[in-house]
């Protein structure tokens, strides 16, 4: 996944990455919020999920200490990052602020 991940986050289109774990309760609550956000931003950003247990190298690289952790990348740079549950309004606002 590493090569594909680097290609994804180096996009001009913002990429919101949800670092999550299957066993994580708040992660399960975040998933439907992300689906709603994806529908609302209508292709202005890409939203992907990364399982920290299956992708430990990526989790270590981005110093993921807790899940869920959401990171917004654009052109390979971290534009925003937050751990814990994030609501739809805040996520939509962050994405809108980072689209051209």
Q: Which of 24, 38, 55, 88 is catalytic?
A: 24
Burial degree of 100 (CB within 10 A; 0-12, 13-18, 19+): exposed
Evaluate whether 16 touches 49 at the Cβ level (below 8 Å). no
At 26, give phi and psi (nearest 5°): -60, -30
Is 17 among the catalytic positions? no
Is 35 among the catalytic positions? no
Q: Which of 9, 16, 17, 27 is catalytic?
A: 27
Active site residues: 24, 27
């Amino acid at each position: 996944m590493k090569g594909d991940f680097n290609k994804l986050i180096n996009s001009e289109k913002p990429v919101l990455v949800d670092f999550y774990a299957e066993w994580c309760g708040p992660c399960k609550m975040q998933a439907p919020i992300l689906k709603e956000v994806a529908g609302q931003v209508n292709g202005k950003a890409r939203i992907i999920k990364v399982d920290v247990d299956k992708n430990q190298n990526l989790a270590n690289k981005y110093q993921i200490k807790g899940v869920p952790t959401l990171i917004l990348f654009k052109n390979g740079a971290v534009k925003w990052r937050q751990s814990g549950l994030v609501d739809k309004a805040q996520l939509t606002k962050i994405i809108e602020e980072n689209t051209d």
